[in-house]
Structure 1
Amino acid sequence: MDRAGVGKVCLALPGVTLDHPFGDDHDAYKVGGKMFVMVGGGGSISFKVSDIAYEVLTESGHARPAPYMARNKWVNLPQIDDWADDELAEHLVIAHGIVAAKLTRKARAALGL
């Protein structure tokens, strides 16, 4: 998967917006104003995972703790294409679900979630 592929997967999810808070070379995908995926200018990708997935992915070496976001259970892949497309897409959908579930009931209803 490439940067455009990540965008296609993320923007197909309900209530998702694309923002560039760190400059045009970084894509931040948000749901309800909360970021769940970040694509860096150098081709890296970081995303939110569950507590269990964080432990499994970082301990097995499949991903590394995301810089500045590891305490919030985010992982990082140095290159977007480090994983198979379907595996990465599944994690992006899960990241969306984790963040969306933490939104208020009112915010979820306004987004159609």
Structure 2
Amino acid sequence: MSRKPAVGLTAVQLEAFCGHWPGVTRDMKWGNNLVLSVGGKMFAVTPSDGSEGGRLSFKVADERFLELTDQPGIIPAPYLARAHWVSILEPQRFGRAELEAFLRDSYALVRSRLTRKLQRALAPLPPRETGQP
């Protein structure tokens, strides 16, 4: 019997996945949005109550922005598109491993743009677990 791959990512799962990474803080902003940041800079946003289809927004590398927003279900993030953020409108249409890879990349990208002093003060990001992209 084959196992069905895990899909989507709830706010609780998002927090469990990356809430323990070095320097990550959690805030509630704009009503009910869970915002994860590193060094005071946001890297992921999702409604904490699962509203809006559980929309998941995060920063992407400049060169990936157009590639990703050309895919069905991924749009430029409202108010943050000029900073190269995307929103996945229905995260349950994506595999959890794929979403986790996006989040890891977002964290690494935002972290890399912090001051060198702040970057040095943070512990290294744990290596990817076996089976993760």
TM-score by length of 2: 0.77
Unpaired segments ≥5 residues, structure 2: 1-8, 125-133
Q: Taking every aligned residue pair, what percent have the same amino acid on both sides?
A: 35
For residues 92 and 123 of structure 2, the distance between their equivalents in structure 1, rounded to whole angstroms, comes to: 31
* Alignment correspondent of 2:128: none
For residues 75 and 95 of structure 2, the distance between their equivalents in structure 1, rounded to whole angstroms, comes to: 17
- Amino acid in structure 2 at the alignment position of 1:89: E
Greater helix share, structure number: 1
* Alignment correspondent of 1:46: 57
* Alignment correspondent of 1:72: 83
For residues 64 and 106 of structure 2, the distance between their equivalents in structure 1, rounded to whole angstroms, comes to: 11
Give the deviation of 1:46 after TM superposition: 0.4
Q: Which moved more, 1:10-19 or 1:94-103?
A: 10-19
Number of aligned residues: 112
- Residue 111 of structure 1 is aligned with which of 122, 126, 130? 122
Cα RMSD (Å)? 1.4
Give the deviation of 1:62 after TM superposition: 4.6
TM-score by length of 1: 0.90
* Contact 2:75–2:86 (CA under 8 A) maintained in structure 1: yes
* Contact 1:28–1:38 (CA under 8 A) maintained in structure 2: yes
- Choose 1 or 2 for highest CA Rg: 2
For residues 30 and 69 of structure 1, the distance between their equivalents in structure 2, rounded to whole angstroms, comes to: 15
> Would you identify which runs of 4 or more consecutive aligned residues in structure 1 move more than 4 Å?
none
* Alignment correspondent of 2:34: 27
For residues 48 and 95 of structure 1, the distance between their equivalents in structure 2, rounded to whole angstroms, comes to: 5
* Contact 2:73–2:90 (CA under 8 A) maintained in structure 1: no
- Amino acid in structure 1 at the alignment position of 2:28: H
